[in-house]
Structure 1
């Protein structure tokens, strides 16, 4: 079970100072990124109220922004989707000088092409981790080790897969195609075929952390992919023993970034929010709630114990390099998404 660490006093004082005029900020984000355990402190100290709408997939951002009528101020897409947000004109360049702690972000993340354009940054790295795999301990005498275990006939009706275009990445790796962010049409077709073969074995494609947790608790699912550190900790709290593993075919890595929606009228509160999320309060907030790693190494070192810092690979650059970090799909985004949607439609 993931140990819950208290946010240190330095984190709670990160926003100390005079409270300015009250305002609000609306975020389109992932579960846990606006958790009351740390957001309430921000609201009290900043005078900015926070409203959150949650997504279950990176494929949700574009449709919600298109239909949102300007109701969102900040979004947190992953690194394979940030470039699309920039290219569609949904977000605006960041004033990095107004973001305290920017220089403490891991250089590997600041170097990602997907959060910058024409010399300007559009995304503020926030958290990162792996898309690991997970199984229920009491369902296996021999632990699974491969992506291929999600295609086992003897597990029919007990398998789940994230309802996201990244299912194409999973199937491609099973097929031996490791260039998962630059697949040819033929390779995508092969991945799609593999997913169609798997479909009769799948109990349900999970969309949210809570949905996958409920499936495991009920014993309806015994193996799946997972947001590493998050669903496993929720299950442990419920007394359900599960184990995460990195398959022999490797694991994807992700990084989520905060982006400012273009022409937001709530810019003052938006930047207060960005500063909080990059401070000890926000970085250890997401680490404690979701079990994810922090993008600001300096903040993480200030608010984590040495054990938590090591457990989240904050001091292990080689771990970052071992992951297949999601990359922008450029003009192939629609191709991947359509291939996954076609699987679900059949």
Structure 2
């Protein structure tokens, strides 16, 4: 398969390209027109994107989609589940230009492979930081506890995701957030229920959180570091991101090929683009996220951006609580979060 696919890609690399399609299930910004338009013109592949607001969206959409999607981009705590459910196929890494340039520590993550066979192509990474409006706070927040401040009633937001359990657990002093006991999960749930009267809304998408900040309805929240803050800055809203004293989660997103995709040719052209300077700086410039391919990043980023995104320091990810698959505990976390929202 590897030789055949590589040869096919080489034959179709000429300007006279047959039109094709690639359907991606991904996050906001990962198929932005600022770089996707160029890809479509150069490849002859039309990109259709469907966006998710949580990693918990991938499995239901694939299981109920009947082959609608060709590529998905789940985070590292969800990639193993996609493999276990048989929803994705092994990557032809020989057909991915720049595969060897990806940070090795990312390529070697166990959640992206089975028995040495790779299923996920690392794409972007970063932190789940916290954020506040500068014009509201005379004393800058430094702790998760600031999201439980009664003086901010009706002005707080959290991501509508099971990771809210991680946030409350850290506030409770339970730092092993991916291995919580039933009692610790229950304590985190109780903490979130206690906070609920302060919450204006649980945000589901980047745009929703940005709108809440712009309207002055929310002044403090967690955030996809680099993304919503840059969108707000473009609107003239000054916000500051911070890593709380209780620590922050880290994430890595990877592209995966949906099993038996009928659009394999365009899917691999898309993967190659996303790992090139066009795709790596595309996500960095649109979302403010760090890139998985430092060689491509160095070719398209200024030295200042390269350093600011920790491209010269991938060990920065080790300072974060990198998301981990919950395995059999997934349901316990999810049920607890759903119980909070049902209150």
Q: TM (normalized to structure 2)?
A: 0.95
Question: 1:249: which partner in 2?
Answer: 246
**One of 12, 30, 34 as aligned partner of 1:33:** 30
1:93 aligns with 2:90: yes
Cα displacement (A) at 1:129: 0.5
Partner of 2:135: helix, strand, or coil?
Answer: helix
**One of 150, 163, 171 as aligned partner of 1:166:** 163
CA distance in 2, matches of 1:338, 1:267: 36
1:236 aligns with 2:233: yes
Cα displacement (A) at 1:69: 1.4
Residue deviations 1:131-172 (CA, integer Å, cap 9, x gap): 000000111110000001111111110000000011011111
Partner of 1:219: helix, strand, or coil?
Answer: coil
1:292 aligns with 2:289: yes
1:47 aligns with 2:44: yes
CA distance in 2, matches of 1:185, 1:85: 25
**One of 126, 129, 135 as aligned partner of 1:129:** 126
Partner of 1:205: helix, strand, or coil?
Answer: coil
Partner of 2:247: helix, strand, or coil?
Answer: coil
Question: 2:4: which partner in 1?
Answer: none
**One of 320, 336, 339 as aligned partner of 1:342:** 339
CA contact (8 A) 1:27 1:72 kept: yes
CA distance in 2, matches of 1:48, 1:108: 31
Question: 2:173: which partner in 1?
Answer: 176
Partner of 1:204: helix, strand, or coil?
Answer: coil
Question: 2:303: which partner in 1?
Answer: 306
CA distance in 2, matches of 1:273, 1:169: 34
Cα displacement (A) at 1:317: 2.9
Cα displacement (A) at 1:20: 2.9
Q: TM (normalized to structure 1)?
A: 0.94
Question: 1:109: which partner in 2?
Answer: 106
1:269 aligns with 2:259: no
CA distance in 2, matches of 1:115, 1:277: 17
1:280 aligns with 2:280: no
CA contact (8 A) 1:16 1:45 kept: no
Cα displacement (A) at 1:113: 1.0
**One of 57, 62, 66 as aligned partner of 1:60:** 57
CA distance in 2, matches of 1:189, 1:160: 21
Cα RMSD (Å): 1.1
**CA distance 1:316–1:39, change in 2 (3 Å):** same
Unaligned runs of 5+ in 1: 1-14
**One of 319, 324, 333 as aligned partner of 1:322:** 319
Residue deviations 1:214-240 (CA, integer Å, cap 9, x gap): 100111000000000000011111111
How does 1:189-204 map onto structure 2 within 5 Å? 189-204=186-201
CA contact (8 A) 1:19 1:45 kept: no
How does 1:147-166 map onto structure 2 within 5 Å? 147-166=144-163
Unaligned runs of 5+ in 2: 1-11
Cα displacement (A) at 1:318: 3.4
CA distance in 1, matches of 2:112, 2:315: 22
* Greater than 4 Å deviation, 4+ residue runs: none
Question: 1:11: which partner in 2?
Answer: none
CA distance in 2, matches of 1:262, 1:283: 25
CA distance in 1, matches of 2:14, 2:273: 13
Aligned residue pairs total: 332
